Amino acid sequence: MTQVTKTTEVILAFDTSGPYCAAALLRGGALVGSVSEPMKRGQSERLMGLLEELLAAHGANWQDLSRIGVGVGPGNFTGIRIAVATARGLALSLGVPAIGVSTFEATLLGKPDGSTALVAAPREQVYVHTEGCEVRLDDAANWQGKPEAHMPPAPDRLAENIAQAATGAPSSAPAPTPLYIKPADAAPASDPPPVILDDT
């Protein structure tokens, strides 16, 4: 079992923007351990247990952490909110910074200049992001076979990349916020609001 000491920066990162829970633990910039579990639902119930198990498996606890890294999407709306809310809550309670890392940034980590990150979108499309460019929607077929195009790695590796990206981010970075490419599909309630009774 690898023991973690407080004299070394320890980073816990996690991501639930897809149909999975994934997390990685870094110590001094080196990977200590990573884990991922496929799931379409239930991330909110599973995430904290998964994180605690990862820490315990490597002799660490919450107080050892120096910072939190979290995937902010794009991806599943609910999944992104679960991870971001968890990261912000942990950062507040532990007194450590939380760093948001997009799937694009994590995908391009270590890739050569000129690489393009792609994230799957509905209807056989992809969200396309090149360094310094805005995100756009395109047909996935337009990127098949292009060597510069990169889809996100496996969830556990994605969590590791998020942790690595969070390592180099300034601790004064703004609190993480979800990266939504398009508005939520949910429509506002059509029922009228309840009447507020005035006791006076």
Q: How many domains does the chain have?
A: 1
Quickly state the pLDDT bin for 196 (edges 50, 70, 90).
low
Note whether residue 131 is domain-resident.
Answer: no
**What is the average pLDDT across 90-119?**
95
Note whether residue 74 is domain-resident.
Answer: yes
Note whether residue 199 is domain-resident.
Answer: no
DSSP code at position 132: T
Evaluate the omega torsion of the peptide bond into residue 74 and state whether it is cis, within 30 degrees of 0. Answer: yes
Quickly state the pLDDT bin for 195 (edges 50, 70, 90).
low
Identify the CATH number of the domain in which residue 50 sits: 3.30.420.40
Note whether residue 35 is domain-resident.
Answer: yes
Q: How far apart are CA 121 and CA 40, in angstroms?
A: 16
Q: How far apart are CA 35 and CA 53, in angstroms?
A: 10
Q: How far apart are CA 11 and CA 28, in angstroms?
A: 8
Note whether residue 79 is domain-resident.
Answer: yes
State the burial class of residue 14 (Cβ atoms within 10 Å of its Cβ: 0-12, 13-18, 19+): buried
Per the structure, the complete domain to which residue 74 belongs is given by 10-104+153-168
pLDDT tens digits, one per residue of 139-188: 999 999 999 999 999 999 999 999 999 998 998 889 999 998 865 555 55
Q: Which residues of 40-49 are buried (b: 16+ CB within 10 A; e: fewer)?
A: eeebbebbee
Note whether residue 2 is domain-resident.
Answer: no
Note whether residue 113 is domain-resident.
Answer: no
Quickly state the pLDDT bin for 38 (edges 50, 70, 90).
very high
The pTM of this model reads 0.86
